Amino acid sequence: MKRKILSALLCVAMTATMLAGCGGGSGDNADDKKAETTDDAAGDEAAGDDAAGDEAADDAAGDEAAGDDAAGGNKLTVWCWDPAFNIFSMEEAGKVYQADHSDLSVEVTETPWDDIQTKLTTAATSGDLSTLPDIILVQDNAFQKNVISYPEAFLDLTDSGIDLKQFSEAKTAYSVVEGKNYGVPFDNGAAIAAYRTDILEQAGMTIDDFTDITWDEYLEKGKTVLEKTGKPLLSCQAGESDVIMMMMQSCGASLFDDEGKPALVGNDALKKVMETYAGLKEAGVLVEVNDWDQYISTMTTETVAGTINGCWIMASIKTAEDQSGKWAITNLPKLVGVDNASNYSNNGGSSWAITSNCQNVELAKDFLKSTFAGSVELYENIISCGALATYLPAGDSDVYAKGDDFFGGDAVSAKIVEFAGKTPSNNTGVYYYEARDAVATAMQNIVSGSSVDDELQLAQETIESQMQ
């Protein structure tokens, strides 16, 4: 739901030209609303005076797609959510592919993520996969869970010819199970630290003072900012574990061991994270709020000096148009005394999967290979709605190199792709969301005075009970 709200807010804040490109819309439309990408315009341009020439061109395009004799013809069906973000991006991919394959038709059915999960579960448990489309969008943190639980529903893309080495390693890892890859990465959830440069200036600091730092340094600098400006550096939602999980991934740590068993007790990285979070809260450098709207309000009403989240948070920041030029982004603080600690992490994102019910497997593979896994042009086209790539070649494009006036003229898009390429991977497993919830509860008890060790023991027992 956060993604829906954020992308809708972004498109509201954009110019009329960008809105026309995105097609507007809201992420909360009815489930069965359909948006079809057709090729009338491309067909008209490609058409010659001779009908036979048209037919020959169509046949050639179909042969390139390697799917004319398949049951699905040259049509691909897709489930994803959010018209202004995911659906728009898939439709743009259809247009890019149609440039060389004019008879392709991409039919996108708007389907909220929760509904995709329910329908996937129902199809797999009933043994009837015929209800699934050719391609679905899957949230990254739920990808491994679904492949492990319902392996028969997903197509193995390991030997598909799709070059997954062109993506951030951490991003690709979300859709890898037992060494096999089942997904094509899509949007970028690389974490950023965003700061109000004018507030930092009041405290005698610049964005450089917060680049490549540790969490210990962040705490001390935050105390100075709070003392001189009265503003905390960071806000987050009480009862949520986003900041905790970003800290964990920044050092490649997990809540599970390699066998998928809960590993909270004796987890040195997690204990350090919990202690760090509690220290920030106690010092007033971090302030907790009750809900998502209040969290966004802390930034747009200038009650905090910054935030740390997935790069998609910039969409909400930019709704405060009067703050243009007053923000800058850099990398995250890193943990002290933890193995493999880095200044890079991730929060959010999703990847495309081909289902076992795909009616034209070769076409689906070639489509994803040529668009989301092979087209810088596509990523340049969809940047208008805030869809940033983890496709590394896109980071070198002129569009990504363009400065953003809101963020002080910095080439933030290219910077974020660079961050994604440096983000460590981690193990999510089947019970990732249950573990997140247990850790969030433990964190609330810890900031209220409970023992870190006792709360981690209780959280582990909670997860183990749910798994049984």
* C-alpha to C-alpha distance for 231 and 297, rounded to whole angstroms: 14
Residue 72's pLDDT band (cuts 50, 70, 90): low
pLDDT number for residue 121 = 97
Digit-coded pLDDT (tens) for 422-455: 999 988 888 999 999 999 999 999 999 999 999 9
Question: Which range among 67-81, 208-222, 308-322, 338-352 shows the weakest confidence by mean pLDDT?
Answer: 67-81
pLDDT number for residue 146 = 97
Query: What is the residue type of 447?
Result: V
Task: Tell me if residue 130 falls in helix, strand or coil.
Answer: helix
* C-alpha to C-alpha distance for 211 and 240, rounded to whole angstroms: 25
Higher pLDDT, 197 or 73: 197
Digit-coded pLDDT (tens) for 345-396: 999 999 999 999 999 999 999 999 999 999 999 999 999 888 898 999 999 9
DSSP character string of 57-100: HHHHHHHHTT-TTSTTTTEEEEEE--IIIIIHHHHHHHHHHHTT
* C-alpha to C-alpha distance for 338 and 362, rounded to whole angstroms: 45
Element of type H or E holding 224? helix 215-229
Query: Are residues 10 and 19 in contact, defined by beta-carbon separation less than 8 angstroms?
Result: no
Q: Tell whether the model's pLDDT for residue 462 goes beyond 80.
A: yes
Going by C-alpha positions, the residue among 182, 184, 170 that lies closest to residue 427 is 170
DSSP character string of 275-302: HHHHHHHHHTSEEEESSHHHHHHHHHTT
What pTM does this model have?
Answer: 0.80
Q: Tell whether the model's pLDDT for residue 51 goes beyond 50.
A: no
Query: Are residues 443 and 456 in contact, defined by beta-carbon separation less than 8 angstroms?
Result: no
**Beta-bridge partners for 410:** 404
Q: Tell whether the model's pLDDT for residue 151 goes beyond 60.
A: yes
Residue 2's pLDDT band (cuts 50, 70, 90): very low
Q: Tell whether the model's pLDDT for residue 196 goes beyond 70.
A: yes
Residue 400's pLDDT band (cuts 50, 70, 90): very high
Show the tokens assigned to 370: 């040529």
Q: Tell whether the model's pLDDT for residue 147 goes beyond 70.
A: yes
* C-alpha to C-alpha distance for 89 and 105, rounded to whole angstroms: 15
Domains belonging to the chain, first-starting first, are: 2-189+348-413 (3.40.190.10), 191-345+431-467 (3.40.190.10)
State how beta strands 75-80 and 135-139 pair.
parallel
Higher pLDDT, 225 or 69: 225
Judging by beta carbons within 10 Å of its beta carbon (0-12, 13-18, 19+), is residue 418 exposed, middle or buried?
Answer: middle
Mean pLDDT of 323-327: 98
Q: Tell whether the model's pLDDT for residue 337 goes beyond 90.
A: yes
Digit-coded pLDDT (tens) for 111-146: 999 999 999 999 999 999 999 999 999 999 999 999
Cα separation values, 46 from 53, 61, 66, 168, 366, Å: 10, 12, 20, 37, 21
pLDDT number for residue 41 = 31
Average pLDDT, the chain: 87
Show the tokens assigned to 215: 């969490």
Digit-coded pLDDT (tens) for 258-296: 888 999 999 999 999 999 999 999 999 999 999 999 999
Residue 54's pLDDT band (cuts 50, 70, 90): very low
pLDDT number for residue 5 = 42
Judging by beta carbons within 10 Å of its beta carbon (0-12, 13-18, 19+), is residue 54 exposed, middle or buried?
Answer: middle
Mean pLDDT of 310-334: 95
